[in-house]
A and B are shown apart, each in its own frame.
Chain A
Amino acid sequence: MNGYGGKILRINLTTGQISKEPTPTHIAEKFLGGRGFGIYFLYTEVPRGADPLGPENKIIASPGPLSGTLAPGAGKMDFTTKSPLTGGYASASVGGHLTAELKYAGYDSIIIEGISPKPVYLYINDDEVELRDASDLWGKGSITVETELKKRLGEEFQIATIGPAGENLVKYACITHDFGRQAGRGGVGAVMGAKKLKAIAVHGTRDIPVADPQALLRLGTEAIKACKASEAFEVWVRYGTSGVTVWSNEVGAFPVRNFQAGALEDYSGLSGETMRQRIVITDKGCFGCPSPCGKYSYSKKYSIYVEGPEYETTALIGGDCVLTDIEDVAYANWLCDELGIDSISVGNVIAFAIECFEKGILTKEETEGLELRWGDPQVVFTLLEKIARREGIGDLLAEGVKHASQKLGENSEEFAIHVKGMEMSGYECHNAPAMLLSYMTCDVGAHHNRSWAITYDLQVGRDLVTDDKVDRVIYLQHVRPLFDCLGACRLQWVELSIDLGLYPPILKAITGIDRSWEDLMKISERVWNLTRMYWVREVEGFGREWDYPPPRFYKEPVTYGPTKGKRMEWDDIQRLLDTYYQKRGWDKNGIPTPEKLAELGLAEIVRIGV
Chain B
Amino acid sequence: MKLNQNKSLHIFLKRNKEAVLAYIILFIVLVLFAINQNDFFTRYGLQSIFNQVITLTIAALAQTLVILTAGIDLSIGAMVGLTNSIAATIMAPVSQAVGGEGPGVLFTVLIVLTVGGLAGFINGVIIVAGRLQPIIVTLATASIYTGIALYIRPTPGGTVSMRYTEILTGRVLTYIPMSAIVLAIFIVVVWLPLRRSKLGQSIYAIGGSEYSAFVSGINVNRTKLWTYTLAGLFSAFAGLLLTAQTASGDPLGSGLFTLNSIAAVVLGGTSLFGGRGGYMGTAAGAAILSLVLGLLIFWGVPSFYQNAVQGLILILALVVGLLQGIRKNKVEAG
A and B: bona fide binding partners: no
